[in-house]
């Protein structure tokens, strides 16, 4: 992992009875993000013990690529559609740093 990479995971919980709708939204958005020039990884998961809970693992080439991702219109549209369908006020982001071990 490069020292310049931005690595994070986002978590959010779908409101009751809309998890499949949220899944469709995030899968469509994932295709858009994966096409961004600086995106290296965008993987979507649902927790086994709580399938309404989503975890998205993301990696960007550098801070510039991540900032471009944040500014992309597709992200604004996705978040506008997502927020009314989730429990949290927005996705909860956790930024990661490498321990230097593979």
Q: Which residue has the tokens 């510039």?
A: 64
Instruction: Quote the pLDDT of residue 74.
Output: 96
User: What single string gives the DSSP state of each residue in 10-42?
Assistant: EEEEBPTT-HHHHHHHHHHHHHHHHTSTTEEEE
Where are the domains positioned within the chain? 6-96
* Number of neighbouring beta carbons within 10 Å of residue 33: 20
Place of tokens 């559609």: 81
Q: What is the pLDDT of residue 42?
A: 98
Give me the architecture of the 6-96 domain, per CATH. 2-Layer Sandwich (3.30)
Q: What is the pLDDT along the chain (102 residues), one digit of tens a residue?
A: 566 999 999 999 999 999 999 999 999 999 999 999 999 999 999 999 999 999 999 999 999 999 999 999 999 999 999 999 999 999 999 999 998 866
């Amino acid at each position: 992992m490069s020292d310049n990479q931005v690595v994070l995971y986002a978590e959010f919980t779908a409101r009751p009875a809309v998890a499949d709708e949220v899944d469709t939204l995030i899968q469509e958005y994932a295709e858009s993000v994966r096409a961004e020039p600086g995106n290296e990884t965008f993987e979507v998961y649902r927790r086994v013990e709580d399938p309404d809970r989503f975890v998205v693992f993301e990696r960007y080439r550098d801070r510039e690529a991540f900032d471009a991702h944040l500014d992309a219109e597709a992200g604004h549209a996705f978040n506008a559609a997502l927020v009314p369908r989730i429990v949290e006020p927005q996705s909860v982001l956790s930024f990661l740093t490498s321990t230097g071990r593979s």
